[in-house]
Amino acid sequence: MRARILVIEDNPTNMDLMTFLLKSFGHDVLTHEGGRDAVELVRNEQPDLIICDIELPGVDGYQIARQLKAEGALARIPLIAVTASAMAADRANVFAAGFDGYIPKPIEPSRFVAQIQDFLRPEQRRECPDLPAAEPYSDSVEPVAIRGKVLVVDDSLVNLSLMRTLLVPSGYEIQTAQDVNQALVVVRQFMPDLIVTDVRMPGLSGYDLARILREDPELCSIPCILISSTGVDLDVRYSAVGLASELFILRPIEPQQLLVEIERRIFGRTPQ
């Protein structure tokens, strides 16, 4: 069963991100910009869950929560606060106002849908695999200056870990995604200098990702490196991607070759 979720938010970027994530996992999404008339909308629509920003113009999230919890028919609807404040006192105010849950900003795309699961009925919940978090630098290792940003897309956690191990010490900031839908969310937040993507993944493929990027005016300039374990993909790459500009590398990857190609794609030169 699909859940009907109302998102109350005045920031268009945050609204678009939450809407995309929720819809990607099969939920129906209602949106409302700002706090005015939000309670009336809840009365009319009776959503299964409400996600509400705290800092709204006019009527803030605290006022909305108090009004909702004061009405018996609306008080039963789970209400989750989204706020940039991390102070313990502010969290206490969130729950005192009547919110049932709390998600800090900026939201983490890899965890956002999982964070709302417990507030939905069991039949409305979706399986939400987490993206692996970036590993912090060891205190004993001197941090490397960031030379560029790379998004790595692969459904194998082992491959993601290997790529991070290779690229982070070489000075690249890394974000990861385990499928194309997640990648399309991360790419807009992260805006990488380069994308390294596996070709064969469940659902949409690396070819699909490259094609979608090339058709998007805001993302079409981001270069892609496609990686595969089979030579069959090499024969169909141009027809599948539709562009000859994508670099194609077969596994097993030679680390130095990949670093050279990343340098060339980002900076237009071969490293010395």
- Rounded CA-CA distance 199/191 in Å is 21
- Give the residue from 109, 124, 139 where a domain finishes: 124
**Residues belonging to the chain:** 272
Alpha helices in 35-169, H assignment, sequence order: 38-45, 61-69, 72-75, 88-97, 112-116, 157-167
Residues 55 and 165 grouped into a single domain: no
User: Which tens digits make up the pLDDT trace of 169-191?
Assistant: 788 999 999 999 999 999 999 99
Element (H, E) at 240: helix 232-241
Residues 38 and 79 grouped into a single domain: yes
Q: What's the pLDDT score for residue 37?
A: 94
Structure token pair of residue 180: 């194309």
Highest mean pLDDT among 12-26, 112-126, 233-247: 112-126
Residues 188 and 248 grouped into a single domain: yes
Residues 95 and 175 grouped into a single domain: no
**pLDDT confidence band for 88 (50 / 70 / 90):** low
- pTM value > 0.85: no
241 pLDDT more than 60 = no
Residues 153 and 114 grouped into a single domain: no
DSSP at 26? T
Residues 51 and 156 grouped into a single domain: no
* Pair 222, 192: CB distance under 8 Å: yes
Which domain, by its residues, includes 236?
Answer: 148-267
Evaluate whether residue 134 is within a structural domain. no
Q: Higher-confidence residue: 231 or 121?
A: 121
Sorted by sequence, the CB contacts under 8 Å of residue 239 that are 6+ apart come out as none
- Rounded CA-CA distance 250/232 in Å is 10
User: Which tens digits make up the pLDDT trace of 136-152?
Assistant: 333 334 445 788 999 99
DSSP at 110? T
Task: Work out the mean pLDDT of the chain and round it to a whole number.
Answer: 82
CATH at 68: 3.40.50.2300
Highest mean pLDDT among 76-80, 125-129, 208-212, 252-256: 76-80
Distance of CA 145 to the CA centre of its chain: 25
Question: What is the mean predicted confidence (pLDDT) over 79-105?
Answer: 85
Q: How many domains does the chain have?
A: 2
